[in-house]
Structure 1
Amino acid sequence: MGRAQRVDAQANRGRILDVAEDVFGRGGETASTDEVARLAGVGIATVFRHFPTKAALLQAVLVRRFDRLREQAEAALRDPEPGTAFFGFFRHLVADAATKIAIGDALLAAGGDGDGEAARASAGLRRAVGALLERAQQAGAVRDDVELPEVYALLVATSRTAAHPDLEAEVSARVLAVVIDGLAPRRA
């Protein structure tokens, strides 16, 4: 009986995280744990049994999202074309930004500070992006006079731009194209 409860509790936790990622990714800080519970098919007490505060739930969602992105970046390291892998992942992170930003903003609004597990998970993603960058530079696909801090700043800025609700999709796509063009090796 105890084992069945543990399996059921794990399933509930996973379902809560899945739903919370969607709910807070769309609604940001205005989304509620009540909505998460309802859509996950559990009571609010079950949500708070797994995650004692809204901030704890949001941190778990953000950690899981960063971990998933890091795993995707690590998988991209096996791509035989380092430039394609780097730029493809750069584009993927920009496309994913609106949801991640909404969850991060909701975490801050709920009293979380983004430190601890979320910061460690974010640092893991950053290291994986750094490995993609280094590999692409060694292959001559990315200019060699930029380093991870500059590339990450461009990634964050481009992501924030793409996530801006009033920006037309065409303008966002052109901004991304300009950034990617600027990272390409200079032609003599």
Structure 2
Amino acid sequence: MTEPKPLRADARRNRARVLDAAETVFAARGTGAPTEEVAREAGVGIGTVFRHFPTKAALLEAVLAERMRRFVEEAQSFAAAEDPESAFFVFLGRWAEMSAAKNAYTDALAAAGADVPRLGPEIGAQVREAVGALLSRAQLTGAVREDVGVTELIALMVGAARAAEYLGEDAALRARTLGIVFDGLRAR
């Protein structure tokens, strides 16, 4: 099987504009927003959108993959932050918000009958490694309970992300709910 030809510079720019626009439109209007609106937001024709993403499901998958790529980069940068306690709790808050959005994409893909992409083993390992580094550093400073492991932390954050999704647009209620989870993680 031959490798696909790399995209020309203008095609790469158009693809990136479409992905950025799709993320903006889907965040504002939900994943059911029309593809034509994505094209308008990107400043390209609908044909350009479909040239890069033949179906709306393909566009949703690409947006989700890009979000996950950025999430891994963010996790790695937080793991190296100067203030481990602050980095730990700020990152977990972002994780809950990102996961709630990710759930909307995967739900839309499942509803469309498309295969829902899973974190590949490489991305999953990178997330676990970065979360493990964040957790270890926060535990060493005495900010987080010693009896919490990466597996328990990930399980808690999956639940917190579903809670954030369930609570919807009420930011104050989401913050209070996350605060309860965070209090349970803090060292006594």
Any unmatched runs of 5+ in structure 1?
none
Q: Residue 179 of structure 2: which of 174, 177, 180 is its match?
A: 177
Match of 1:159 in 2: 161
Deviations 1:9-61 (A, max 9, x none): 11100000001112223333422222212221222221121122222211111
* Displacement over 6 Å in runs of 4+: none
Contact in 2 for aligned 1:67/1:121 (Cα 8 Å) = no
Letter in 2 for 1:70: V
Q: Shift of residue 91 of structure 1?
A: 1.3
Q: How does 1:23-172 map to 2 (within 5 A)?
A: 23-115=25-117, 118-120=119-121, 123=124, 124-165=126-167, 168-172=170-174
Structural RMSD (CA): 2.3
Whether the 8 Å contact between 1:21 and 1:103 is mirrored in structure 2 is no
1:23–1:106: structure 2 CA closer, same or farther, 3 Å change rule? farther
* Long gaps (5+) in structure 2: 1-6
- Between the aligned residues of both structures, percent identity stands at 50
**Bigger RCO of structures 1 and 2 (CA < 8 A, at least 6 apart):** 1
Q: 2:16 aligns with which of 14, 17, 33?
A: 14
Give the CA deviation at 1:122. 5.4
Q: Secondary structure at the match of 2:8?
A: helix
Structure 1 residues 25 and 122, CA, compared in 2 at 3 Å: closer, same or farther? farther
**Compared with structure 1, are the counterparts of its residues 66 and 136 closer, same or farther at alpha carbon in structure 2 (3 Å cutoff)?**
same
In the superposition, the TM-score normalised over structure 2's length comes to 0.83
